[in-house]
Amino acid sequence: MEVIDTNAWFGRGMLGPLPGSPDEVVDAARAVGIDRVCLTPLDAIWYHNPHLGNDELYRIADRRAAVLPVPLLDPTIASWADELALAVTRQAAMVKLAPAYSGYEPAAAEPLLAAAEAAGMPVVVQVRVEDPRYHHPRARVPDADVAAIARLAGRRPRLRLVLGGASTAALLAVAHELRDLAGLFADLSQADGLDAVRRLVDAGLLPKLLFATHAPLFAPLAGLARVLPELDDVSAAAVLGGNARRLLRL
Residues that bind other proteins (CB under 8 A): 1, 3, 16-19, 32-33, 131-137, 140, 168, 190, 192-196, 199, 215-222, 224-226, 228-230, 233-234, 236-237, 240
Beta bridge partners of 184: 161
| Nearer Cβ to other proteins (78/134) | 134
Beta carbons of 13 and 214 less than 8 angstroms apart = no
- The distance of closest approach from Cβ of residue 37 to other proteins in the complex, given in angstroms and rounded to an integer, is 15
Cβ partners under 8 Å of residue 53, min gap 6: 11, 41, 43, 44, 47, 71, 72
| Nearer Cβ to other proteins (59/136) | 136
- The distance of closest approach from Cβ of residue 221 to other proteins in the complex, given in angstroms and rounded to an integer, is 3
Task: Please give the full DSSP string across 148-211, using - where no structure is assigned.
Answer: HHHHHHHT-TT--EEEES--HHHHHHTHHHHHH-TTEEEE-TT--STTHHHHHHHTT-GGGEE-
- The distance of closest approach from Cβ of residue 154 to other proteins in the complex, given in angstroms and rounded to an integer, is 26
| Nearer Cβ to other proteins (163/215) | 215
| Nearer Cβ to other proteins (88/237) | 237
Q: Hey, what amino acid is at 38?
A: C
- The distance of closest approach from Cβ of residue 137 to other proteins in the complex, given in angstroms and rounded to an integer, is 5
User: Cis (ω within 30 of 0) for the bond into 17?
Assistant: no
Distance CA 155, CA 72 (A): 22
| Nearer Cβ to other proteins (32/108) | 32
- The distance of closest approach from Cβ of residue 241 to other proteins in the complex, given in angstroms and rounded to an integer, is 10
